């Protein structure tokens, strides 16, 4: 209990900022705590806020009582005992002396955080392409689904955590669901149908953003070797600490004062001219206010902007993001499920038509798959078959949410016989002219979605040049060969931003892209062109 207070104080003390909005005021609560909230079942849920130093606070819910005392900075936190799921609307009461705050219509169930950029932000009301959302939105009336939409706020300073976020829990109705994440809603509704417990969904996303602003300072400093980002953060945090929450001329420190907050003058001290893109800014403004609210896990849909920025370090950034969030939540290895970004025609030159360019979207795919495979308690939902190469916002959000729910049901909730992944590369046997590729997650067998010969397989010979290959299913494997390639050294599948391949398992889930090199040809790796020819 006291450890969380220490963390909150430490996070702010290191940058010279008191966590108390107003230590002389009456008791206030975190803005995560409002009417209609959902507590995470079977977990010691935190209740926290601010008060006068030394003030005693009592929290009551469902026959349980928890107590806290505000520390020297006015911060207080307590935890309720683990409580079973319940769709009975009950009151949560916070008392301090003569003051009494009552939160009404509180449920207990499963709480998930939905975060990322525009494909997570894409709302149930749609933007330009509504297609399959109208009917679902009209039916989005569920008393046991609650929605919390974090406003889009970048941090006041790099390194400074916000401690409140002006938002509130809403009961799911067509009106409130209209502006909520479609992926998040379909994910939550699928969980509701299968778990039969209340569902709380927290949306914190911002279109057109890189991954860097979503990473916490501990994520960068404790869990990464990302030198460029850390080198920028160190002086930014030092400037903030030196100000002691006071305004300063922009020509001296790069800071300007606005009516509501301090912001960097990005003209003079920028990582990016857009405040949303600077390291830690969206974590501080949109994720840190949520901590330590009890959640079950995270679904993440982001990466398009990192394709556009030609990012070759996305895996390291996913590591920093995931481990940093888990470190601050102190809930162990929170489930973290990643949506593979969908195929999209970013630009012809990024797919290597002149035999020199690297396909940057496949590099993001590789990082996402690697994170799902190597980072504990992670998973990936493939979108290779439901993208739109002419629309960076493919409209089929229902299937994305459903595939994320499959991951959660199988990996988090222990549902048996749930197929949650398409075929994933396991190994490749290079034998004569052929390459035999073995897969995990075949789910009863492999198949072609279109019924036509498999597409988007390529192999390379000793010259390192990839060519289109013939591929056929043999049991749980795929056999690949190409005329004129007598001694294959490498094989790749769907390694292009416009790839829409046919390979799937018998559950209808698509195979994930991959590259593989013959072990004996490792010395040739620097000479292999790691791009795919643009196939039309």
The answer to whether 442 and 423 are in contact (CB under 8 A) is yes
- Work out the angle at residue 108's Cα, subtended by the Cα atoms of residues 323 and 166, and round it to the nearest 5 degrees: 65
Domain ranges of the chain: 111-420, 424-527
The predicted structure's pLDDT at residue 240: 62
Is 0.75 surpassed by the pTM of this model?
yes
Closest CA to 107 of 149, 48, 147: 147
DSSP codes of every residue in 401-430: HHHHHHHIIIIIS--TT------EEEEEEE
Tens digit of pLDDT per residue, the chain (536 long)?
444 444 443 443 332 233 444 444 589 999 999 999 999 999 999 999 999 999 999 999 999 999 999 999 899 999 999 999 999 999 999 999 999 999 999 999 999 999 999 999 999 998 765 556 888 999 999 999 999 999 998 875 655 555 666 789 999 999 999 999 999 999 999 999 999 999 999 999 999 999 999 999 999 999 999 999 998 888 777 766 655 544 433 333 333 333 333 333 333 345 666 778 889 889 988 998 899 999 999 999 999 999 988 899 999 999 999 999 999 999 999 999 999 999 998 865 444 433 434 568 999 999 999 999 999 999 999 999 999 998 999 989 999 999 999 999 999 999 999 999 999 999 999 999 999 999 999 999 999 999 999 999 999 999 889 999 999 999 999 999 999 999 999 999 999 889 999 999 999 999 999 999 987 665 554 444 443 333 32
The predicted structure's pLDDT at residue 425: 97
Closest CA to 524 of 488, 500, 472: 488
Question: CA-CA distance, 73 to 83, in Å (whole number)?
Answer: 30
DSSP codes of every residue in 235-254: HHHHHHHHHTT----HHHHS
The CATH code that applies to domain 111-420 is: 3.40.50.1110
In DSSP terms, 510 is beta-bridged to: 504
Encoding tokens for residue 128? 């330009």
| DSSP assignment letter at 150 | -
The predicted structure's pLDDT at residue 527: 42
Question: CA-CA distance, 500 to 491, in Å (whole number)?
Answer: 17
Question: CA-CA distance, 381 to 284, in Å (whole number)?
Answer: 27
The number of angstroms, rounded, from the C-alpha of 377 to the middle of its chain's C-alpha atoms is 13
| DSSP assignment letter at 136 | H
The residue written with tokens 């709480």 in the block is 111
Closest CA to 40 of 104, 107, 105: 107
């Amino acid at each position: 209990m006291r450890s969380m207070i220490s963390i909150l104080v430490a996070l702010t003390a290191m940058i010279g900022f008191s966590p108390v909005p107003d230590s002389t005021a009456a008791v206030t609560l975190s803005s995560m705590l409002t009417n209609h909230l959902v507590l995470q079942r079977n977990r010691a849920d935190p209740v926290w806020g601010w008060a006068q130093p030394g003030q005693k606070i009592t929290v009551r819910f469902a026959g349980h009582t928890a107590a806290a005392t505000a520390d020297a900075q006015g911060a207080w936190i307590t935890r309720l005992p683990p409580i079973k799921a319940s769709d009975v609307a009950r009151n949560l009461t916070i008392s301090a002396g003569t003051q009494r705050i009552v939160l009404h219509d509180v449920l207990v169930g499963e709480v998930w955080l939905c975060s990322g950029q525009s494909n997570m932000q894409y709302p149930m009301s749609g933007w330009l392409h509504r297609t399959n959302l109208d009917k679902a939105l009209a039916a989005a009336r569920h008393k046991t689904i609650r929605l919390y939409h974090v406003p889009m706020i970048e941090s006041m300073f790099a390194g400074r955590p916000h401690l409140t976020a002006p938002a509130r829990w809403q009961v799911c109705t067509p009106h409130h669901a209209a502006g909520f994440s479609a992926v998040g809603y379909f994910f939550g509704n699928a969980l509701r149908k299968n778990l039969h417990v209340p569902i709380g969904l927290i949306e914190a996303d911002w279109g057109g953003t890189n991954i860097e602003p979503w990473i916490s300072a501990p994520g960068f400093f404790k869990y990464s070797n990302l030198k460029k980002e850390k080198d920028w953060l160190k002086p930014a945090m030092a400037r903030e600490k030196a100000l002691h929450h006071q305004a300063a001329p922009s020509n001296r420190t790069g800071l300007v004062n606005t009516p509501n907050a301090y912001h960097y003058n990005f003209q003079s001290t920028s990582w990016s001219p857009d405040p949303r893109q600077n390291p830690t800014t969206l974590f501080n403004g949109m994720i840190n206010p949520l901590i330590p609210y009890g959640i079950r896990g995270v679904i993440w849909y982001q990466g398009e902007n990192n394709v556009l920025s030609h990012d070759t370090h996305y895996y390291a950034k996913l590591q920093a993001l995931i481990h940093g969030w888990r470190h601050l939540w102190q809930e162990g290895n929170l489930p973290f499920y990643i949506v593979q970004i969908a195929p999209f025609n970013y630009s012809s030159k990024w797919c290597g038509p002149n035999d020199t360019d690297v396909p940057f979207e496949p590099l993001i795919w590789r990082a996402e798959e690697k994170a799902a495979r190597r980072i504990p308690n992670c998973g990936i939902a493939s979108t290779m078959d439901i993208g739109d190469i002419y629309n960076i916002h493919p409209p089929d959000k229902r299937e994305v949410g459903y595939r994320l729910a499959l991951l959660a049901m199988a990996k988090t909730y222990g549902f048996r016989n749930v197929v949650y992944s398409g075929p994933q590369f396991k190994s490749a046997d290079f034998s004569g002219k052929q390459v035999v590729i073995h897969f995990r997650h075949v789910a009863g067998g492999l198949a072609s979605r279109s019924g036509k010969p498999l597409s988007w397989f390529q192999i390379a010979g000793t010259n390192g040049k990839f060519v289109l290959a013939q591929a056929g299913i043999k049991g749980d494997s795929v056999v690949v060969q190409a005329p004129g390639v007598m001694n294959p050294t490498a094989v790749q599948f769907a390694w292009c931003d416009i790839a829409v391949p046919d390979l799937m398992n018998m559950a209808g889930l698509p195979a994930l892209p991959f590259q593989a090199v013959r072990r004996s040809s490792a010395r040739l790796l620097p000479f292999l062109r790691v791009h795919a020819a643009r196939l039309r």
